[in-house]
Amino acid sequence: MQNLYEATITEIGTDVPFIIEENVVIFFDEKAPKELHDVAVVHKNGALLSDIAAGDTFLYNETRYRVIFVGDTANATIRDLGHYTLNFTGDTSETLPGSIYVEKADVPELKAGTVFRFVRE
């Protein structure tokens, strides 16, 4: 298994529960501007080792979510800001450039201190 990206959640923004209702999660590195932290799952120590692509896996607490689509700018914004939106709807009919889409699933319970990864199996 090749590790593509790994980071540790440090904070769950106050508005995240409302955003999760849409089956999406916004991620930002903790170095992002503070005004973005309220809407985001904030994380640290992320380094993109290789671009994420369809067919890769988002791994959270040993639960695997297969990546089905990666927007055109998602890998670049991960590199620059540790930013991407993870979409759990499974619907790729109207994609956004900074988003990563996984197969339809419930958003997992997000907790500070949890390590998450993107891997290529």
| Element spanning 79, H or E | helix 74-81
Task: Please state, in angstroms and as integers, the Cα–Cα distance from residue 99 to each residue in 1, 68, 84, following that order.
Answer: 23, 11, 6
Residues near 7 by beta carbon (within 8 Å), at least 6 away in sequence: 29, 43, 44, 45, 46, 82, 115, 116, 117
Give me the pLDDT at residue 96, please.
95
Supply the pLDDT for residue 114.
Answer: 97
pLDDT tens figures, 47-69: 999 999 999 999 999 899 999 99
Q: In this predicted model, what pLDDT tens digit does every residue of 83-119 receive, in sequence order?
A: 999 999 999 999 999 999 999 999 999 999 999 999 9
